[in-house]
Each structure stands twice: as C-alpha cells, then as structure tokens.
C-alpha cells in the first residue's frame, strides 16, 4: 500500500541515500508509515522491510527502540513527559502523575475518548526547563517547557476543542 500510494515520496526519500546504503532510509519510511496508519503496524513494518530489502525483525527493532515510533493505536495526541533524573528532581514525576490523575488515566494509558496518551520518556534535552514534555501530533512535534498542571490541562482543553470543531 505505501509503495503504491506514496511512490514518488518514497523515491525522493530513497534518492537521498546511495543505492548500496538504501537501508538508511528506514527511519523516514517508518515515519511515512506511521503518518499513514496512525501507528506502525506489523504490515507496515513488512512493507518498509520489503522496500529496503531488510528483515521485518530489523525494522521492528527500530520501532521498539525509538520513542517517536509506536506499534499500537493509541491517542491521536501523545504527551511524552521527560522523567529522567534531572527532570524528576524538578518535579516531572509528580507533574506526570497529577496530569494523568486529572485525565482519569495512568501513565502509559490513553484517555477514554481515545484522544490523548500520556507516557514517560527519557531525556528530551531540556533538563533546566522541567517539567516539560513533547507533544506528538499530526502536525509534528512541539515542545512545552516549564509546565504546570494548569498549563498542561489548558493545552489538553485546546486539543479537545480543536477536535470538536473539525
């Protein structure tokens, strides 16, 4: 499906790499698959593997390793809170727990409306601005630094409002 629907985009991606190193295109192709399907399905991993001449297991290992790829359908918006030690020392763990409590979920879960998933991640490179999170959304990734529970909940309200209006 990807090879048919996105043939020209795949060609542009592959053109960035020498033919003998086309396996280097795996990450942009995974991003393309995730954009298309909402997450990286088993079938998408096989599609990417076939395009690049790789084993599906090699592709799946990348999906499992990187926090920007996910292999299960979850929220349309992913709030990834950095809980690494420097951020934890600035209250990130308590922030994440309070946010989840207000959303009626636990860390790693998705809200009942299927809109928002909150998860803990390691090092988003803004230790001095914690609590902070990256918001993964269809439009890209956006960083939100020096957060309070109130500012995060205001963003959640904005996301819900955006969804209800179109």
Percentages helix, strand, coil for the chain (3-state, rounded to 5) are 55, 15, 35
CATH code at 14?
A: 1.10.10.1590
Q: Is the domain of 148 the same as that of 84? A: yes
Please, are residues 70 and 44 in contact by the beta-carbon 8 Å criterion?
no
Q: Give the pLDDT band of residue 166 (cuts 50, 70, 90).
A: low
The answer to whether residue 72 is domain-embedded is no
Residue 93 belongs to domain spanning: 77-164
- Residue 17 near residue 28, CB atoms below 8 Å: no
One domain, residues 140 and 103: yes
pLDDT digits (tens, 9 = 90+) for 28-75: 999 899 888 888 999 999 999 999 999 999 999 999 888 788 888 888
Q: How does residue 137 score in pLDDT terms, banded at 50, 70 and 90? A: confident
Domain boundary among 65, 86, 111: 65
Among 165, 163, 151, smallest CA distance to 102 is for: 151
Q: Would you say the pTM of this structure is higher than 0.75?
A: no
Q: Which residues pair with 81 in a beta bridge?
A: 120, 133
**Together in a domain, 20 and 94:** no
Q: How many CB atoms lie within 10 A of CB 50?
A: 13
pLDDT in tens, 148-160: 999 999 999 999 9
């Amino acid at each position: 499906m990807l090879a048919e629907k996105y043939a020209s985009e795949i060609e542009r991606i592959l053109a960035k790499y020498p033919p003998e190193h086309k396996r280097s295109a795996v990450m942009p192709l995974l991003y393309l698959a995730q954009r298309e399907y909402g997450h990286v399905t088993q079938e998408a991993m096989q599609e990417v593997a076939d395009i690049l001449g790789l084993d599906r297991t090699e592709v799946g290992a990348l999906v499992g390793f990187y926090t920007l790829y996910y292999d299960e359908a979850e929220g349309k918006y992913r709030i990834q809170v950095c809980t690494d030690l420097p951020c934890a020392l600035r209250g990130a763990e308590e922030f994440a727990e309070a946010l989840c409590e207000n959303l009626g979920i636990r860390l790693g879960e998705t809200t009942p409306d299927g809109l928002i998933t909150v998860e803990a991640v390691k090092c988003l490179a803004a230790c001095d601005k914690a609590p902070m999170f990256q918001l993964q959304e269809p439009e890209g990734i956006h960083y939100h630094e020096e957060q309070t529970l109130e500012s995060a909940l205001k963003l959640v309200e904005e996301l819900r409002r955006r969804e209800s209006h179109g």
